[in-house]
Structure 1
Amino acid sequence: MSVLDLSRDNSTAILTMNRPAARNALDLEMRSAFAELLPLIRDDASVRAVVLTGSAGHFCAGGDIRTIGISQDNTDVFEGRTRILAMHRWFDELVDLEKPVIAAVDGVAYGAGLSIALAADFVLASPQATFCAVFARIGYTPDLGGMYLLPRAVGLARAKELAFSARVVNAHEALALGIAQHVVEEGTVLNAALELAARFEHAPMGALGIVKSVMNRAFESDRGTIYRQEAMAQAICRESAFHKEATRRFLDKQPPLFQWPQEKP
């Protein structure tokens, strides 16, 4: 396996961060691998959903301090800015990926690892999962989209508290805060994520992609802009092959193309 392993489970792509000795911390090689693999997933029509996970009982410990290094007197101040901007390019590919993305979080999701989890549309956590905006401990500010995604997940005041304190949040508090959507039984988080991903195998991918694209920008767009995007999206979807077949099935009283499984009581 590489530091970022791409595998398949039917129509689901699985990205596994694989640096177990460093709790899957992001190094330069893993960042390059994200940049290489995300466009492949984006352009593969056979991939209907994506699961993000980590090896050896952890999700991702954030940036690898050993590869970030400590600033020296002869280090140009703009080097750090260039490094972060380079990460944003592949990270935006993840955030904007027009396919359902599910984070299966076991163990630590710290720093940039927290941001990678928040980039997903669904976050499933094991009871051992812990989340931390750890940056203040080393005098850093949140990166990899953390200052954008965290307030949208938990609200502005709570995001400030988590960033200022750099405290650890356990799985059940993460659920209460809105970081995670589900806490699953011990040892089942990857299987639960794959089961959730499989529900999208027959989903209207074009329509869901538009929904994700518009909703990702809803907090910084005015109401009129969203209304216009809704109108354009509906006009496109109305002419899609999926909608026409789904409508025919409805009128003929046939089973729908896509139906979310009924949750067990």
Structure 2
Amino acid sequence: MSREYDDIDVAVGDDGRAVLSLDRPDSLNALSDRMADEILDALNRVEEDDDVRVLVVRGRDGNFCAGADVGSPPAETKPHQQTRRFRRLRRLFDRLEGFPRPTVAAIEGYCLGGGCELACCCDTRVAAESATIGVPEITLGVIPAGGGTQRLSRLIGLSRARDMILRGKHHDAATMREYGFVHELTDDEGFEDALEAVVEEYLVRPPVAMELAKLTVNGGFEASLASGLEMEALATGVVFGTDDAREGLEAFRENRAPDFRGE
């Protein structure tokens, strides 16, 4: 990673983790068009690094993302121009959801609107108990435009999603844990430790198997059961041909921790 960004920061560690930080703290890390373009570029660059095993998405200064930047609306107002803009935004969310490595949303403070939609696209969501999560777009006279009307209902159920979206409701992290949105809930003091535990868990898992498992789950979700099962069978065949599979089975027989190399 050599490019410098204006609205995000990307750090790639020697241990296999990459951290993508939304870096507009003065606007509570609101999602601007430039930030969206930068995130998309960063995802492409991070994927090119074969040593990266897990990607963490977080915000600067105690807030994840307070939503789209509505303080400086775009000049274009015609419907077809807005549609193009949000299709462009959708490419970012689709890219994050389909990112081949595990992704972790580190949710603190505000996680609203586009921030909530961004978190929806991550595989694991770790939240501090003081976090506020919601989709307030309806209170501005608009609707979620980054996949919120679709992904949120698939994560927490149609009835709960309708209630949140139509009323523009916010919930605390504990409620969103009950809804199935938050995977790991922690007090504020223990947030970094809880996040680190999840990241470390991903760092010791087999990279190829994780990539194929994610591809199979995502690809089979909207397919028929028969198609999904065939994808699973094909992916399983590939996984069993890896050195990591041999290492995992050998480690199990020898009653030791496996050393997965991504090969």
TM-score by length of 2: 0.91
**Distance across 1 between alignment mates of 2:25 and 2:193:** 20
Superposed CA deviations along residues 215-243 of structure 1, whole A, max 9, x for unmatched, are 12444221101110111011111111211
Compute the displacement of 1:70 (Å): 7.5
Q: In structure 1, how many angstroms separate the alpha carbons of the residues matched to 2:60 and 2:193?
A: 14
Per-residue deviation, 1:28: 2.0
Matched, 1:48 2:49: no
1:169-180 matches, within 5 Å, as 169-180=171-182
Q: How many angstroms apart in 1 are the aligned matches of 2:192 and 2:114?
A: 20
Shift of 1:106: 0.6
* Deviation by residue 1:189-239 (Cα, 9 ceiling, x = unmatched): 244223311222231111111111221244422110111011101111111
Asked if 1:6 corresponds to 2:10, the answer is yes
User: Do the aligned partners of 1:117 and 1:123 also contact (CA within 8 Å) in 2?
Assistant: yes
Any idea what SS the aligned residue of 2:212 has?
Answer: helix
Deviates more, 1:171-180 or 1:184-193: 184-193
1:263 aligns with: none
Which secondary structure does the structure 1 equivalent of 2:202 belong to?
A: coil
Q: Which residue of 2 aligns with 1:140?
A: 142
The equivalent of 2:44 in structure 1 is 39
Q: Which amino acid in structure 2 is aligned with residue 160 of structure 1?
A: R
Establish whether residue 63 from structure 1 lines up as the match of residue 68 from structure 2: yes
Q: How does 1:81-96 map to 2 (within 5 A)?
A: 81-96=83-98
List structure 1 segments (4+ residues) > 6 angstroms apart after TM superposition: none
Cα offset, 1:167, TM superposition: 0.9
Q: Aligned partners of 2:78 and 2:167: how far apart in 1?
A: 29
Structure 1 residues 190 and 148: alpha-carbon distance in aligned structure 2, compared to 1, 3 A threshold: farther
Read off the aligned partner of 1:248 and give its amino acid letter.
Answer: E
Q: Following the alignment from structure 1 to structure 2, what is the Cα–Cα distance between the partners of residues 151 and 210?
A: 25
Number of residue pairs matched by the alignment: 255
Unaligned runs of 5+ in 1: 260-265
Distance of 2:181 and 2:226 partners within structure 1: 29
* CA 1:147–1:214: 2 relative to 1, 3 Å: farther
Structure 2 match to 1:256? 257
Q: In the aligned structure 2, how far is the partner of 1:44 from the partner of 1:65?
A: 34
Check whether the contact 1:100–1:197 (CA below 8 A) recurs between aligned residues: no
Q: Which moved more, 1:208-217 or 1:98-107?
A: 208-217
Counterparts in 2 of 1:242 and 1:94: CA distance versus 1, 3 Å: same
Distance of aligned partners of 1:168 and 1:70 in 2 relative to their CA distance in 1, 3 Å threshold = farther
Shift of 1:246: 2.3
Distance 2:56 2:86 in 1: 24
Which whole-Å CA distance do the structure 2 matches of 1:153 and 1:105 have between them?
16
Residues 38 and 124 of structure 1, relative CA distance in 2, 3 Å threshold: same
Q: TM-score, normalised by structure 1?
A: 0.90
1:196 is matched with which residue? 198
Aligned residues with identical type, % of pairs: 24
Flag the structure with more relative contact order, 1 or 2, with Cα contacts below 8 A and sequence separation at least 6: 1
Would you say the 8 A contact 1:122–1:181 is kept in 2? yes
Say whether residues 1:224 and 2:229 are aligned partners. no
Cα distance between partner residues in 2 of 1:42 and 1:67? 31
Looking at structure 2, the residues matched to 23 and 183 of structure 1 have their Cα atoms a distance apart, in angstroms, of: 21
Q: C-alpha distance in 1, partners of 2:47/2:73?
A: 29
Deviation at 1:258, TM superposition (A): 6.0
> Could you report, residue by residue, the CA deviation over 1:155-178 in whole angstroms, capped at 9, with x for unpaired residues?
111111111011111111011011
Q: Please, which of 119, 129, 132 is the counterpart of residue 130 of structure 1?
A: 132
Q: Give the alignment's Cα RMSD to 1 decimal.
A: 1.9
Asked if 1:186 is matched to 2:191, the reply is no
CA distance in structure 2 between the partners assigned to 1:210 and 1:68 by the alignment: 40
